[in-house]
């Protein structure tokens, strides 16, 4: 071994001591930063001068890690996306967690490519997929793969449904002139039409079925639309049920949707990006009844389950169809009976990626650290804060609730302000660092949208949002 | 603030001391593990008993992080994918690096969703994309986005080329009956036909243009194929040049391919998964001449540039066309003039993902820590080890070189053994922990394929591979 040990170390330091010491300092700093989140403004705009400082030509020579870290602390860390902050309430963002953070440290060093081969990373991804199936009541033999997020997970599901409808020929011959039709609620997420766009079917192939006052797809209207399209000679192939609409968290009647899909012979996919996580709570699980009948399900671990970004998942009930959608025969990437190329099937045959980070570890450690019950309590806590916020909004004459609160999303507006002014008010709140809701449009009105996903958020944080809204709205009224 | 400070901490520990201590222990352990890589067998198969131990029902209650880490050390860490190991020579895998590891620690805590919004993560991704364009000589205004890897990067490029060919209607109306045709070398990677499959065009739409003895696409054959298809009323739209074939690292005549594409009005895409990185070396950069004319380029930071998994990149010369391929107008995800929803365009309008890890930090820190020159030396080192290995193979009468060595990939076989026995021999090497080459097929013969991507690999490691091959081949001959 002497020859080897005397050899060059590549990019590795000859002595790890300095790197090790810096790593320990970073770890302490970052835990302090996380623990202090509440004391910071929720968001600060990155100053133009610091943006300019970040811009530089491709560096030719290396610089020391200490200097790089100093730049990170100065230029990057203060101007983040706020996901760690208890008063981050915009869009749909998980807050991260300590077990997931430590997992990412291990993952960065362990550093497998989880495209395939015979190693523990693949075994662990299978375990995590099995847990996901168990969480929603799908069969133990359900197939699945981890992806960046639900946008790609929905895309994979569309591709499997396309393969199921058109057979193996679609992979070689393309979609051609077949007029496929898919169905989803008018409240479905934009990644569903975009998946149809990317898959060559076209977003116009998606029928947006009307939603009722509770933002749930009208099952009768779905049934009628499918029947009309079949009668017109079109080729219905896919129904997407939504478990948690992005606007307000409504959950379609999944059992009813499943029944329509079964009767018409269509693929039943569920987009449960965040809503599927409600299955972790005994209280909210009944809202998802029917999800266990899904042919495929898309959801994220990095939203309500608080796993660090990114960790999405698609589940497919029929493992053979899943494999038939992606598997390829490539000379440089064959399976072997033994050695490192064993242990099929590999994730590369279950999705579009051939280079894949070891996402499973952060999911595994998060689920083990808190348990399904612990994460279920996070779900219930978010819903409780949402109910508190909705009740407060209802009590405030200046405010108006715009949508029913099914889970953890509250949409409201300042009655006296225009849509444009309500939108400005949200930017006011963010720039003041008070709270960070986002906006959407509900029934044609601009909504201030508070999504209670961060596990650190309290009822007091919800009150701080309302207090801030009222105070800044009053300032706007005075300034007018 | 008293109310806030008294509030619950969600999943966070009330006192971070124990988590902090465990994090420090993990960091030390993992640096030791990395520094000791050379002393380990390159790979050990995970025993069936440990696979069984990993399998468990969805945990209901949480367990302590110490116990979880103990399971990781016992069940996972010894049975990895070997990317850190100097004698990992299979497939195409980067070895990771210290700056990237520390970046992932920071990223896990900082934890932004890099789909968009106005924060430093977005600014840094733009900087990294600009560096990538500078690396290959594409214009400063080149658009780009980070992705899991080149499979998705090639898919994005196919979608942009499809949009350029068929106009905005393809997004809403689908591919329909248009008979698009694409071109690539017969030695191109399988993700190219798969991208056409996923995009609804079908993999049969890819003409595999013959490659010459050096595994480079025959430019004359390409020109003739395009002309024949145009004459036949088909719709050529895309030419894919390969910068680094997966089998043996050949680089197409990119300038010649670019010329054919320009003359025929086709989109010129380059799949430079690992080969584009050769641009970091003044010695090897000339082999890529013409890459700077690409309409789009796919490549990975996690291969030869040693960034931890995963970090792929697609560059698109025409920013408007890139945006036109993916941008959507969604009520819950609009841009704002100010506040957190400012600073367009966002990466979510440049690719398929809406949840995206902060991949840019590990790329930024790796490039700053070693510089383009330092990473260029890694390229030259890998090529040097490959030349050493090829020379050794040429000197050994028992061995036969199967392909020219352009960069860092060496394909050879044991002359006296059948294809099946050469394949078994590779599994023998892996199971013995000596070295981990992979296999491919060159000219109909099974090749032992050594790809020298790990920055730690030395000429002595290459010799250890050959010694192992000869020794185990002799054992096989005796056993026969």
| Residue that the structure tokens 């995590």 belong to | A128
**Residues within 8 A of A (CB atoms), B 94-113 only:** 95-113
Question: Each residue of B462-478: pLDDT tens digit?
Answer: 999 999 999 999 998 76
The residues near A234 (Cβ < 8 Å, ≥ 6 apart) are A179, A180, A181
Lookup: tokens for A338: 């033994």
* pLDDT value of position B41: 98
Question: Each residue of B429-453: pLDDT tens digit?
Answer: 999 999 999 999 999 999 999 999 9
CB contact under 8 A, B172 and A202: yes
β-pair type (A436-442, A445-451): antiparallel
Candidates B309, B359, B374, B431: best to mutate against A (most CBs of A within 10 A) is B309
Q: CB of A372 within 8 Å of any CB in chain B? A: yes
Q: CB of B355 within 8 Å of any CB in chain A? A: yes
Question: Each residue of B139-197: pLDDT tens digit?
Answer: 999 999 999 999 999 999 999 999 999 999 999 999 998 999 999 999 999 999 999 99
Sequence spans of domains, chain A: 112-357, 372-479
Check whether the bond before B444 is cis (ω within 30° of 0): no
* Averaged pLDDT, B114-127: 98
Q: Are A146 and B175 in contact (CB under 8 A)?
A: no
Q: Are A97 and A455 in contact (CB under 8 A)?
A: yes
For residue B7, is pLDDT > 80? Answer: no
For residue B425, is pLDDT > 70? Answer: yes
Q: Are B112 and A80 in contact (CB under 8 A)?
A: yes
Q: Are A273 and A291 in contact (CB under 8 A)?
A: no
* Averaged pLDDT, B256-262: 98
* pLDDT value of position B177: 87
Which one is the CATH code of B112-357: 3.40.640.10, 3.30.70.2740, 1.20.120.1630, 3.40.50.12160? 3.40.640.10
CA distance B245 to B312: 17
Q: CB of B9 within 8 Å of any CB in chain A? A: yes
Question: pLDDT exceeding 90 applies to what percent of chain B?
Answer: 96
CB contact under 8 A, A355 and B302: yes
Q: Are B122 and A76 in contact (CB under 8 A)?
A: no
Q: Are B178 and B343 in contact (CB under 8 A)?
A: no
Q: Are B369 and A206 in contact (CB under 8 A)?
A: no
CB contact under 8 A, B27 and A31: no
Residues of chain A predicted below pLDDT 70: 1-7, 478-480
Q: CB of B18 within 8 Å of any CB in chain A? A: no
Q: CB of B149 within 8 Å of any CB in chain A? A: yes
* pLDDT value of position A359: 98
Q: Are A359 and A146 in contact (CB under 8 A)?
A: yes
Give B280 to chain A, closest Cα distance, Å: 9
Q: CA-nearest residue of chain A to B456?
A: A10
pTM for the model: 0.97
CB environment A396-411: b (16+ within 10 A), e (fewer)? bebbbbbbebbbbbbb
* pLDDT value of position B479: 60
CA distance A131 to A148: 18
Question: Each residue of A225-235: pLDDT tens digit?
Answer: 999 999 999 99
Question: Each residue of B340-385: pLDDT tens digit?
Answer: 999 999 999 999 999 999 999 999 999 999 999 999 999 999 999 9
Please list every residue in chain A whose beta carbon sits closer than 8 Å to the beta carbon of residue B313: none
**Residues within 8 A of A (CB atoms), B 211-270 only:** 246-247
CATH of domain A372-479: 3.90.1150.170
CATH 3.90.1150.170 fits B371-479, yes or no: yes
Considering only CA atoms, which of A287, A351, A292, A280 is closest in space to residue A317? A292
Please list every residue in chain A whose beta carbon sits closer than 8 Å to the beta carbon of residue B328: 190, 193-194
CA distance B233 to A335: 40
CB contact under 8 A, B338 and A4: no
Q: CA-nearest residue of chain B to A83?
A: B112
Give A219 to chain B, closest Cα distance, Å: 24
CB contact under 8 A, A10 and B95: yes
Q: Are B79 and B470 in contact (CB under 8 A)?
A: no
Give B309 to chain A, closest Cα distance, Å: 5
CB contact under 8 A, B461 and A205: no
Q: CB of B450 within 8 Å of any CB in chain A? A: no
Q: CB of A49 within 8 Å of any CB in chain B? A: no
The residues near A427 (Cβ < 8 Å, ≥ 6 apart) are B336, B337, B338, B339, B340, B341
* pLDDT value of position A3: 39
For residue B6, is pLDDT > 50? Answer: no
CA distance B398 to B407: 24
3-state secondary structure of B233: coil
Of all helices (H) and strands (E), which one includes residue A61?
Answer: none
* Averaged pLDDT, B260-277: 98
Considering only CA atoms, which of A287, A302, A321 is closest in space to residue A144? A321
Cα B81 to chain centroid distance, Å, stands at 15
3-state secondary structure of B270: strand
* pLDDT value of position B1: 32
Cα A191 to chain centroid distance, Å, stands at 11
For residue B213, is pLDDT > 60? Answer: yes
Q: What is the DSSP string of B106-128?
A: HHHHH---TTSSSSHHHHHHHHH
Q: What is the mean pLDDT of chain B?
A: 96
């Amino acid at each position: 071994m002497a020859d080897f040990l005397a050899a060059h170390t590549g990019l590795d330091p000859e002595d790890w001591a300095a790197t090790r010491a810096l790593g320990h300092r970073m770890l302490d700093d970052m835990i302090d930063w996380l623990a202090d989140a509440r004391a910071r403004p929720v968001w600060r705009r990155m100053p133009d001068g610091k943006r300019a400082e970040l811009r530089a030509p491709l560096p030719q020579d290396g610089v020391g890690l200490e200097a790089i870290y100093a730049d990170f602390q100065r230029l990057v860390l203060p101007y983040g996306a706020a996901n760690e902050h208890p008063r981050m309430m915009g869009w749909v963002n998980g807050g991260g967690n300590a077990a997931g953070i430590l997992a990412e440290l291990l993952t960065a060093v362990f550093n497998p490519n989880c495209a395939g081969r015979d190693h523990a990373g693949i075994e662990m991804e299978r375990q995590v997929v099995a847990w996901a199936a168990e969480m929603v009541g799908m069969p133990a033999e359900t197939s699945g793969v981890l992806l960046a997020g639900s946008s790609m997970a929905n895309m994979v599901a569309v591709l499997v449904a396309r393969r199921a409808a058109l057979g193996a020929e679609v992979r070689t011959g393309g979609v051609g002139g077949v007029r496929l039709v898919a169905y989803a609620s008018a409240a479905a997420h934009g990644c569903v039409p975009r998946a149809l766009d990317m898959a060559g079917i076209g977003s116009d192939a998606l029928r947006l079925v009307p939603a009722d006052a509770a933002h749930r797809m009208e099952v009768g209207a779905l049934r009628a639309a499918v029947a009309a399209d079949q009668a017109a000679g079109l080729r219905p192939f896919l129904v997407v049920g939504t478990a948690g609409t992005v606007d307000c968290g409504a959950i379609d009647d999944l059992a009813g949707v499943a029944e329509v899909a079964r009767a018409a012979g269509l693929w039943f996919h569920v987009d449960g990006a965040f809503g599927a996580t409600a299955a972790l709570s005994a209280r909210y699980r009944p809202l998802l009844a029917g999800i266990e009948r899904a042919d495929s399900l898309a959801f994220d671990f990095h939203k309500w389950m608080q796993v660090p970004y990114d960790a999405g998942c698609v589940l497919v009930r029929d493992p053979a169809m899943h494999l038939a959608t992606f598997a390829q025969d490539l000379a440089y990437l064959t399976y072997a009976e033994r050695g490192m190329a064993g242990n099929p099937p590999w994730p590369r045959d279950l999705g579009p990626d051939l280079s894949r980070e070891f996402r499973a570890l952060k999911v595994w450690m998060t689920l083990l650290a808190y348990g399904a019950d612990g994460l279920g309590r996070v779900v219930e806590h978010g819903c409780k804060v949402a109910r508190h916020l909705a009740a407060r909004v209802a009590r405030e004459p200046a405010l108006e609730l715009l949508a029913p609160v099914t889970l953890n999303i509250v949409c409201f507006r300042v009655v006296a302000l225009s849509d444009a002014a309500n939108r400005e008010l949200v930017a006011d709140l963010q720039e003041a660092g008070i709270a960070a809701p986002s906006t959407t449009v509900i029934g044609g009105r601009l909504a201030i949208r508070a999504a209670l996903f961060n596990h650190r958020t309290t009822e007091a944080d919800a009150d701080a949002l309302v207090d801030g809204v009222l105070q800044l709205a009053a300032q706007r009224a005075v300034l007018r």
